[in-house]
Amino acid sequence: MDWLELLERYGVPLVVAAAFWWFIQKQNKYIQEELSKELRESFARVEGIIIKLIDQQKLMQLGQRGIEKSYKSLVDIMTKLYKEKE
């Protein structure tokens, strides 16, 4: 069947509705593919940022532990020296 036969048989409204249905299907497929692609890219970017933040937090925690140990050692030395003088 060609378009003219469909037009004669079912009328203009039905042919227009079928054309709109076909257009909407194509449009939805394109939009879903693009959005899925963008979502995957955004997720990968956010995942990378989160991993970097966790790495930086761990480095800061290790640095903090070193500072605490140095502080405790300094306090111990100062208290021993203070007690020796008395």
Give the pLDDT band of residue 86 (cuts 50, 70, 90).
Answer: low
Span 29-81, pLDDT tens digits: 998 999 899 999 999 999 999 999 999 999 888 888 778 888 888 888 888 88
Supply the pLDDT for residue 74.
Answer: 83
Handedness of CA 12, 16, 17, 18 (dihedral sign): positive
Instruction: Say how far residue 34 (Cα) sits from the centre of its chain.
Output: 16
**Angle of CA points 35, 39, 43, to nearest 5°:** 175
The domain total for the chain is: 1
Could you list the beta-strand ranges (E) of the chain. none
The span from the CA of 77 to the CA of 83, in Å, is 10
Domain hosting residue 34, numbered range? 3-85
Give the pLDDT band of residue 22 (cuts 50, 70, 90).
Answer: very high
pTM over 0.75: no
